Amino acid sequence: MKSTTPTTGGARQRSQAETRQRLVTTAAALFAKNGSHKTTTAMIARGAGVAAGTVFLHFPDKEALLREVLQVALGELKHSLAKVAAGGTARTPEADVRRRTEGLVTFADENPDLAAVLFDPGHLATAAGAEVLDFLVASQAASLADGQKKGWLRADLDVGLAARALVGSLILVLGWWVKKGPDEGPRPARPEVATQLAGLRLYGTGAR
Cα–Cα distances (Å) from 125 to 70, 140, 178, 181, 207, in that order, read 12, 18, 19, 24, 35
For residue 154, name the pLDDT band (cuts at 50, 70, 90).
very high
Maximum CA pair distance of the chain? 80
For residue 176, name the pLDDT band (cuts at 50, 70, 90).
very high
Q: Enter the CATH code of domain 61-203.
A: 1.10.357.10
User: What pLDDT is recorded for position 1?
Assistant: 40
Calculate mean pLDDT across residues 125-137. Answer: 92
- Mean model confidence pLDDT for the chain: 90
Q: What backbone phi and psi angles, to 5 degrees, belong to 50?
A: -130, 170
User: What pLDDT is recorded for position 9?
Assistant: 67
All structural domains of the chain with their residue ranges: 61-203
Calculate mean pLDDT across residues 17-26. Answer: 95
User: What pLDDT is recorded for position 2?
Assistant: 43
| Statement: residue 88 has pLDDT above 90 | no
